[in-house]
Amino acid sequence: MKNILVTGGAGFIGSAFVRRMVEKYPEYNLIVLDKLTYAGNLDNLLPVHDEPNYRFERGDIAHRETVERVLEAYEVDTIVNFAAETHVDRSILEPDAFIHTDVVGVYILLDAARRLGVNRLHLVSTDEVYGSISEGFFREGDPLEPNSPYAASKAGGEMMARAYHVTYGLHTTVTRGSNTFGPYQYPEKIAPFFITEAIDNRPLPLYGDGMQVRDWLYVDDHCDAIDAVLHQGAPGEIYNVGGEHELHNIEVTRFILGALDRPESLIRYVADRPGHDRRYALTNDKIRADLGWTPQHTFEEAMRATVRWYQQNEWWWRKIKTGEYLEYYKAQYAGRLAGAQE
**Positions marked catalytic:** 127-128, 150
Q: Quick check: 16 binds ligand TYD (CB under 6 A)?
A: no
Q: Quick check: 193 binds ligand TYD (CB under 6 A)?
A: yes
Handedness of CA 183, 188, 194, 198 (dihedral sign): positive
CA 80 → CA 50, 118, 238, distances in Å? 22, 11, 14
Q: Which residue is nearest to ligand NAD (CB)?
A: 11
Residues 246-285 that bind ligand TYD (CB under 6 A): 249, 273
Binder of residue 19, out of ligand NAD, ligand TYD, none (CB less than 5 to 8 A by kind): none
Furthest-apart CA atoms within the chain: distance in Å: 57
What are the φ/ψ torsions at residue 120 (nearest 5 degrees)? -155, 150
Closest approach of Cβ 268 to ligand TYD, in Å? 10
Out of 214, 222, 245, 262, point to the residue binding ligand TYD (CB under 6 A).
214
Q: Quick check: 153 binds ligand TYD (CB under 6 A)?
A: no
Q: Quick check: 245 binds ligand TYD (CB under 6 A)?
A: no
Of residues 25 and 325, the one with the C-beta less far from ligand TYD: 325
Mark the segment that binds ligand TYD (CB under 6 A) among 3-11, 17-25, 137-145, 188-196: 188-196
Of residues 31 and 198, the one with the C-beta less far from ligand TYD: 198
Out of 212, 240, 284, 306, point to the residue binding ligand TYD (CB under 6 A).
212
d(CA 174, CA 106): 12
E-state strands within the chain: 3-7, 29-34, 54-58, 78-81, 120-126, 171-177, 179-181, 204-207, 213-218, 238-241, 246-248, 267-270
Binder of residue 137, out of ligand NAD, ligand TYD, none (CB less than 5 to 8 A by kind): none
Binder of residue 177, out of ligand TYD, ligand NAD, none (CB less than 5 to 8 A by kind): ligand NAD
What is the SS3 assignment for 51? Answer: coil
d(CA 114, CA 108): 10
- Residues near ligand NAD (CB under 6 A) are 7-8, 10-14, 34-37, 39-40, 60-62, 82-86, 101, 105, 124, 126, 154, 177, 179-180, 186
CA 211 → CA 87, 206, 207, 252, 272, distances in Å? 20, 10, 9, 10, 11
Q: Quick check: 287 binds ligand TYD (CB under 6 A)?
A: no
Burial string for 131-144 (b: 16+ CB within 10 Å, else e) reads bbbeeebbebeeeb
**Which ranges constitute the DSSP H helices of 132-211?**
149-168, 190-199
- 46 secondary structure, DSSP code: G
Q: Give the binding site for ligand TYD (CB under 6 A).
A: 88, 128, 179, 189-190, 193, 205-207, 212, 214, 249, 273
